[in-house]
Amino acid sequence: MNREGFQQTYGIIGKSPEMQEIVDVVQQVAPTDITVLISGESGTGKEIIAKAIHGASKRSQHALVPVNCGAIPEGLIESELFGHEKGAFTSAADMRRGYFEIADGGTIFLDEIGEMPLSTQVKLLRVLESGEYIRVGSSVARSTDARVIAATNKLLEYEVQQKHFRPDLYYRLRSVNIYLPPLRNRKEDIPSLVERFVKEISEKNKIQFGGFTDNATELLMSYSWPGNIRELRNTVESMLVLESGKRIDGYDVRKYLREQPSVLTERNLPVVSNKTVEQAERELIYRALVDLKSNIIEMKELLTGQLSGANDSQINHTQPHKGNGILTMDEMERRMISGSLDRNKGNRRLAAKELNISERTLYRKIKDFGLQ
Under the rule (CB under 5 A), what is the footprint of Mg ion? Answer: 46-47
Rounded to whole angstroms, the Cα distance separating 54 from 43 reads: 19
Query: What is the SS3 assignment for 272-340?
Result: CCCCCHHHHHHHHHHHHHHHHHHHHHHHHHHHHHHHHCCCCHHHCCCCCECCCCCECHHHHHHHHHHHH
Residue closer to ligand ATP by CB (options 14, 106) is 14
- Considering CB distances under 5 to 8 angstroms, the limit depending on partner class, which of Mg ion, ligand ATP, none binds residue 333? none
Residue closer to ligand ATP by CB (options 12, 29) is 12
Shortest distance, position 42 Cβ to ligand ATP, whole Å: 3
Q: Nearest to Mg ion by Cβ — which residue? A: 47
Shortest distance, position 111 Cβ to Mg ion, whole Å: 5
H or E stretch covering 218: helix 214-222
Shortest distance, position 308 Cβ to Mg ion, whole Å: 40
The upper half-sphere exposure of residue 97, i.e. CA atoms within 13 Å in the direction of its Cβ, equals: 9
Residue closer to Mg ion by CB (options 50, 280) is 50
- Considering CB distances under 5 to 8 angstroms, the limit depending on partner class, which of Mg ion, ligand ATP, none binds residue 229? ligand ATP
Residues lying near ligand ATP in the complex (CB under 6 A) are found at: 11-14, 40, 42-48, 153, 229-230, 233
Strand partners, 121: none
Residue closer to ligand ATP by CB (options 43, 106) is 43
- Strands 177-180 and 64-68, sheet pairing: unpaired
Interacting residues of 67 by C-beta distance below 8 A, sequence separation 6+: 80, 81, 99, 108, 109, 110, 111
Interacting residues of 289 by C-beta distance below 8 A, sequence separation 6+: none
Residue closer to Mg ion by CB (options 49, 240) is 49
- Considering CB distances under 5 to 8 angstroms, the limit depending on partner class, which of Mg ion, ligand ATP, none binds residue 253? none
Shortest distance, position 68 Cβ to ligand ATP, whole Å: 8
- Considering CB distances under 5 to 8 angstroms, the limit depending on partner class, which of Mg ion, ligand ATP, none binds residue 153? ligand ATP
Shortest distance, position 92 Cβ to ligand ATP, whole Å: 30
- Considering CB distances under 5 to 8 angstroms, the limit depending on partner class, which of Mg ion, ligand ATP, none binds residue 13? ligand ATP
Residue closer to ligand ATP by CB (options 62, 353) is 353
Shortest distance, position 11 Cβ to ligand ATP, whole Å: 6
Residue closer to ligand ATP by CB (options 46, 334) is 46
Rounded to whole angstroms, the Cα distance separating 46 from 308 reads: 44
Interacting residues of 106 by C-beta distance below 8 A, sequence separation 6+: 54, 59, 62, 63, 64, 65, 146, 147
Residues 30 and 53: beta-carbon distance below 8 Å: yes
- Considering CB distances under 5 to 8 angstroms, the limit depending on partner class, which of Mg ion, ligand ATP, none binds residue 43? ligand ATP
Q: Pick the closest to residue 299 from 265, 335, 268, 269 (CA basis).
A: 335
- Considering CB distances under 5 to 8 angstroms, the limit depending on partner class, which of ligand ATP, Mg ion, none binds residue 37? none
Rounded to whole angstroms, the Cα distance separating 82 from 211 reads: 51
Q: Nearest to ligand ATP by Cβ — which residue? A: 45
Shortest distance, position 49 Cβ to ligand ATP, whole Å: 7
Shortest distance, position 290 Cβ to Mg ion, whole Å: 21
CA dihedral 258, 263, 268, 274 (to 10 degrees): -50
- Considering CB distances under 5 to 8 angstroms, the limit depending on partner class, which of Mg ion, ligand ATP, none binds residue 45? ligand ATP
Shortest distance, position 183 Cβ to ligand ATP, whole Å: 9
Rounded to whole angstroms, the Cα distance separating 117 from 305 reads: 38
Residue closer to ligand ATP by CB (options 47, 298) is 47
Residue closer to ligand ATP by CB (options 133, 256) is 256
Interacting residues of 340 by C-beta distance below 8 A, sequence separation 6+: 351, 354, 355
Q: Pick the closest to residue 174 from 157, 154, 162 (CA basis).
A: 157
